[in-house]
A and B are shown apart, each in its own frame.
Chain A
């Protein structure tokens, strides 16, 4: 089954404790992206990657890091989480070069930073 898999689904952590949210897709998509979803704000892009070793900032990149060492994986790293990063996070993937393809989304990771 074609899918984007995120782990974990739920995570509660303390301020300053480094964490990684994993994302993997099995569709051989070049493009991958991280979004955060907050009430009343919709989805905002954090980082994206157009292919292996090619990453760039989205609209709200502060406090986050990403890497793309393999085509299928795109982990999101919070090196020193703060309470304002409490949010619902989605990983998504798409075909490069096709504006009309749209995204395939993961099931989301609900992060709480206390």
Chain B
């Protein structure tokens, strides 16, 4: 079965500081991994995804994530936080070919950016 663990339900960062959100996964097949962002009162928007090509994936708004198979991790980073990065972030892993369409989500990490 596929599963995702996000470490830290809340993260507070200063404007201009590094943003690091942690995601570890479990998958019985080569994983496809996603990061989504949810701004207040909005749906989820795709930030970036790993689909077995390059292990360092660049996304929108300056975010990137690195797939590390040995650590079963897919951590999300941004070098310099902006006030507009305040949102909730979800890591997700794609299902197997039997349940291929299903995304299994982590519990989410709320990011607060302080001036």
Contact = CB atoms under 8 A, between A and B. Distances in A.
B68 interface: no
A41 interface: yes
Which of A41, A44, A94, A100 has its CB near the most chain B CB atoms (within 10 A)? A100
Interface residues of B, number: 25
Interface residues of A, number: 25
A99 to B, nearest CB: 4
Interface in A34-62: 35, 40-45, 48, 50, 58
Given A33-B101, A48-B101, A43 B90 contact: yes
Contacts of A100: 32, 49, 51-52, 94
Contact of A31 (B9, B90, B101): B101
A41 B108 CA distance: 8
- Residue among B41, B44, B100, B106 with the highest chain A CB neighbour number at 10 A: B44
Nearest to A6: B43
Nearest to A43: B105
A107 interface: yes
A97 B100 contact: yes
25 contacts: A4-B43, A31-B101, A35-B105, A42-B90, A42-B105, A42-B106, A42-B107, A42-B108, A45-B102, A58-B102, A90-B43, A90-B44, A96-B101, A97-B100, A99-B95, A99-B97, A100-B32, A100-B51, A102-B34, A103-B44, A103-B46, A105-B36, A107-B42, A107-B43, A108-B41
